[in-house]
Structure formats: structure tokens, C-alpha cells
Amino acid sequence: MEKIHHNGQLINSDNFSISLENRGLRYGDSFFETIKCHLGKPLYWEDHYFRIASSFLITKMTPPTDFSIEKFKAFIEELLQKNSLDVKSARVKITFFRTSSGYYLPDENHASYVIESEPLDLSLYQLNPKGLNITFYKENFISKGPLSNIKSTNRLINVISSIHAHENGYDDVLLINNNNNIVEASKGNIFIVDHSNNIITPPIEDGCINGVLRSVLLREKKDQVLEKSIAFSDIMNAKEIFITNVIIGVCWVSKLGNKIYAKDMSVELLSLLNKKFFSSSENQREL
């Protein structure tokens, strides 16, 4: 029986349920964190932890009493071991939701959480052999502001834009803010490479998710990555486009409209991530 972690306790997933009064269900009064784990360890854990802490501040939720960087890491590792996912790669999702009653105004702000896990087919990041064919999504817009930077459970624009992509034969779409700047893709943060080999990604002030892998790349390639608003013309003049999230790593885009894009930087970054974050864990496992 698959286990989950609920408020500090391991329980069978079949024994977990939520009330109709749950504020996450009723109002989207919740947020989540998706974490890639390898050989029983969460990758980029410090980045994830501090993004969770920031989300508590933005949503005005009171963190659980056991919310600490060491304790939650231990919860994840325990769950992976119990579900026999400590010898492979896995996806962990932590959902936090305000627990009180009330309508729009909650009676109090304490948060509960549930941690889930599932296996991943691939361990190392791999280049998608066929580049993505993408387009622009213009039916709805992302708002600028802190609420757009967190992974709230209100991902309706991601859902609808993904349906739009599927119905029209595209692999993904680019989402736009109210200033007509490119913000992100439906599946992750967007980066472009210009003809001077600069890597450009939108600033979080434009409304993009404050992605963990985005933060990692900003840190690892700090002399090459620029945070700058991306206009339509920047996309069409770029020599490369790629999308990032912690599960897929780097996913290259081959086509937007009639424009064909390269994949050189995508290959380079995948190699960097695999060497830095997977080789050490493989060596530790062998020891």
C-alpha cells in the first residue's frame, strides 16, 4: 500500500481524505511544491525550502510547527524509503492548505500539508530527441505580482492553455502578461539565447513562477544569464529557446511558427546539471 505523509504522520494513501470544507478545494487557498528526488534524496532542497517559506509569507499562512529544513527533508526521505523509491528517481509533491473554516476570510491561518511520491521513468536529465513545436497563447493573460510567482493550486491558465496546445497540435504554449511580454511556458520557465550567446529569462516581476531550476541556472551561469523582459521580437530573433522545470530539466524548442531553433545551449546545460547534481549522488550510492 502506497504511503503518504500527512501532518507529520505516515499513513496509507487510501486512508486520506479531504472535507468539502477544505479551503484548497473551495477557494484554491493552497499551494504546492514539486521536487525531483534521486536515490532517496531531494534535489535542490534548500531552494525548494526557501521557496516554500516565501509562499507562506505571500499567502499569509502560518507554517506547521514542524516546518524546518531538516525535518521536512527527513519526512521526504522517510516517505521515499517506505514507498521503495529510495533506489531510483522519484517525484515528490507537497501540498499546503489553510485548515480553518470561514468563507473568503478564514477563521485562522494555520496550514496543514500532505506529501506524496511517485516513481520517475528517467534518472538523469535527457535531451528531448524531438524539439518542441510551440505557439503563443493569447486568450488569457498572467497578472504581474507576487501571487503569480508562487505555485498556488489555481493553475487554471496552465490547464486551459495546455488543452489549447493539445487541440491545435502543439507541444506547449508561451504565456503572456498584460504588458504583452512573454512570461513562461505552460510547463515551466522560459529562456532564450540571443546571437551574442546571452541567456535571457523574464524577471519574476513580469509574473513568472519563481522556478527552482530557474534559480539554479541563475546561480550556476550567473555571468551569462540576464533577467530581462522578453518581447515577441526577442523570441522571433532568438537562436535558441528552452523550457525548464525540476522534473524535465531543460527541454529545447525546435519550432515556433516558421522559425527553427538550435539546441546547443540546452545540451550544454543538461550536461552541467547531470554532472553537478547526479554524478555525486551516484558516487555516494556506490560507496
What are the percentages of helix, strand and coil residues in the chain, rounded to 5?
A: 30, 30, 35
Q: Which of 124, 119, 113, 137 is nearest to 33 (CA)?
A: 113
Global pTM value: 0.93
Asked if 3-119 and 132-276 have one fold, the answer is no
Domain coordinates in residue numbering, the chain: 3-119, 132-276
Work out the angle between the directed axes of helices 212-220 and 264-277 (0-180°, nearest 10). 90
Q: What is the mean pLDDT of residues 131-141?
A: 97
pLDDT in the model for residue 280 = 53
CATH architecture assigned to 3-119: 2-Layer Sandwich (3.30)
Confidence of residue 30 (pLDDT cuts 50, 70, 90): very high
Q: How many CB atoms lie within 10 A of CB 287?
A: 4
Residue 146: phi and psi, rounded to 5, are: -60, -30
| Tens-place pLDDT, residues 224-270 | 999 999 999 999 999 999 999 999 999 999 999 999 999 999 999 99
**Nearest by Cα to 151 from 19, 22, 246, 16:** 246
CB-based burial of residue 143 (10 Å sphere; 0-12 exposed, 13-18 middle, 19+ buried)? exposed
- Cα–Cα nearest to 132, from 53, 273, 244: 244
Residue 282 banded pLDDT, cuts 50, 70, 90: very low
pLDDT one-digit tens code per residue, 147-189: 999 999 999 999 999 999 999 999 999 999 999 999 999 999 9
Q: Which CATH number fits domain 132-276: 3.40.109.10, 3.30.410.10, 3.90.480.20, 3.20.10.10?
A: 3.20.10.10
Among the listed residues 113, 98, 131, the one whose alpha carbon sits nearest the alpha carbon of residue 25: 98
